[in-house]
Amino acid sequence: MKKVALSALAAAMISGVASADALTLYSDPKTGQVYTTPGEGRVEMGDFVSAKEVDMQLRDLESKGSEYQDKMSKYVNVKSKAKTLEFSGTHYLGFTSANPSTRVTNAGAGETSIYAGRSSGFEMRRNYVQVKAYFNDKDYARVTLDSTKELASSVGTTQDGSDLKTSQGGGYADVFVKYAYLYLDKVLPYTGVEAGIVHRPWIDYEEHNAWHYRSFNKVFLEEKGTATEAGVDLVNSADFGVNFQTKTDMFSSEIGIFNGEGYHADKVAGNQQNSSQLSVEWRLTGHILGDGTKVGKNDRTKDTYANISTYGLISNNHKDDDADLGGTLDANEYDRSFYGIHAVYNQPEFLIAAQYFTAKDDKRTQNIATTFDSKDYTGWSINAEYRPIQDWTVIGRYDDYKIESELNGVVTSNIEGDKIIAGLAYKYNKNVSFIGSAKFINEKDSKVAAKASDTGESKDVYMMTTELKW
C-alpha cells in the first residue's frame, strides 16, 4: 500500500515538473542541428526538463515520503482468515433511583426489603462489544463480550431484575461471553443454524420486534422479581446449544435444543445441567402482512408489520445439582415448562403488543425436605409506543402476574403482582438515544399475614438512560 501511494505521488510530481518547466526542442534532420523554436524543415524532438530540477523534486519527494511512512506507522494492520470483520458495540449507561414503597416485617429480623432504603447511583447496565467474522456474504462466526455494573440489592437482584454478580456490590465490573457461535445459512431450505452459545428462541425476537427497551427493563419472561419470584427468571436470552432459524415471507420460526439453565447458570447458581436431559424451546410466528424474511430487522419508524407468535419451553432436570442420588443434592431439581402467545402490530406512528403465558415447575424429588412441590406461574403483559413527532417516542407497559406454590398439597404462597412502566425517549442521532422512565411495582402474598403481606418486591424505580450503538 505504501509503495503504491509513493509511486503515485512520484508520478504526479514528475508530471508537474514536465508541465510547468519542460522545454520543447526541435532538430533539422539534414544538418542535425538542435533548435528551441519550431521552423521550416524542423522536427519536434519532445519535451525535456532540467536534470537539476528533477533531482531537487525527487529529494523533496523522498522527504515527503518519509513523513508519510511515519504517519502510516501509527496504524495497525488487521489480518484475518475471514473475508470481512465487522465490529460493533451497544452500551446502556444510566442513573437509577429506587425507593421501596413498603417493607416486609420478618419475625426477629426487623424490617427488610429488596432495596434497603432509597438506593441511587450511576450504572453501566450493559456493555456489549462484538465481532463477526464473515466467511462469505451469509456465514459467519460471532463473539459478543458483555460487562455490567449495576446498583446491588440486598438479596440477589438489581434494579432492572438482572443477576447480582459478585462485583456489582463493589470492585470491578465482570466481563463474560454472552454469545459465541457459528452461523451457517440455509443448511435446510429457508433455514440457518447457530451452534455454540446461541440465541434462545424468544427473548431476542421480542426485544427486536415488540419491546425495544432492554436498556432500562427486560422483557416480561426474563425479568426477575416480577414475572417470577425474586432471583428467578423463567428464561434468559442465551444458552449452550443449537438454534435452527427459518425465515419466509409469511412465516418464521426458531427451534432449538439447549442445556436449559442459560449461559450464566454455572456462575450464578452452580447448577449448570450435567444430566443427559436437555431443554427443547421454540418460537413459531405468522407474519400477517408478510416480510417475515426481515424479522428482527424492521425499522419500526418506517415499516408496517403484524405478527402473531406462540412460544414454549420443556426443560427436564432444569436445575440439576448432581446425579440423581435421591438425597439432599437433589433438593433443588425440578422440571420446568412454559407456553405463551404473543401479538404485535406496528406502523410508523405507533406500536402495540400483548402476550399471555403460563408456566409450571415440578420438583423431581418428593421424599426429602423441600420448599415446594410445584409452582404455577401465569401472567399477561401489554406494551405500546406512540411517536407523535420525529425522534420522540412515548413508552408505556403494564404487566400482571401470579405465582402459586404448593407443598404437600397445600398452597403455601400465592403471590400477585403488577407493574406499570412509563417512559419518554429521544433519538439524538442514529447512534445515541436518551430515555427517562419510571416503574411502579406492587406485589403481595395473600398467604402471609395481612400486616406483612408485601413480598419486599414493591418499589418505585426512576431511571435516566443513555443508549449508545456503533
- Residues 357-392 pLDDT 10s: 999 998 876 655 567 788 999 999 999 999 999 999
DSSP 311-340: EEEEETTSS--SS--SSGGGTT-EEEEEEE
Do 50 and 142 lie in one domain? The reply is no
User: Looking at residue 63, what DSSP letter applies?
Assistant: H
Q: Cell numbers at residue 151, please?
A: 446498583
**The pLDDT value given to residue 159:** 41
pTM: 0.78
With vertex at residue 408, the alpha carbon angle to CA 406 and CA 410, rounded to the nearest 5 degrees, is 50
**The pLDDT value given to residue 160:** 43
Q: Is 303 exposed, middle or buried (0-12, 13-18, 19+ CB in 10 A)?
A: middle
- What pLDDT digit, counting tens, does each position of 281-311 carry? 999 999 999 999 999 898 999 999 999 999 9
Question: Residue 78: inside a domain, yes or no?
Answer: no
Do 50 and 92 lie in one domain? The reply is no
- Short-list 293, 301, 419, CA closest to 351: 301
- What pLDDT digit, counting tens, does each position of 389-415 carry? 999 999 999 999 999 998 888 888 899
Residues in the chain: 470
CB 403 within 8 A of CB 376: yes
Question: Residue 278: inside a domain, yes or no?
Answer: yes
pLDDT average, residue stretch 219-224: 87
Local confidence band at 63 (pLDDT 50, 70, 90 cut-offs):
confident
For residues 309 and 221, give the distance between their C-alpha atoms in angstroms, rounded to a whole number. Answer: 15
Provide the number of structural domains found in the chain.
2
Question: Residue 364: inside a domain, yes or no?
Answer: yes
Q: Please report, for the domain that includes residue 130, its CATH number.
A: 2.40.160.10
Do 114 and 43 lie in one domain? The reply is no
For residue 11, the enclosing domain spans: 2-72
pLDDT average, residue stretch 9-26: 56
Q: Among 22, 46, 72, where does a domain finish?
A: 72
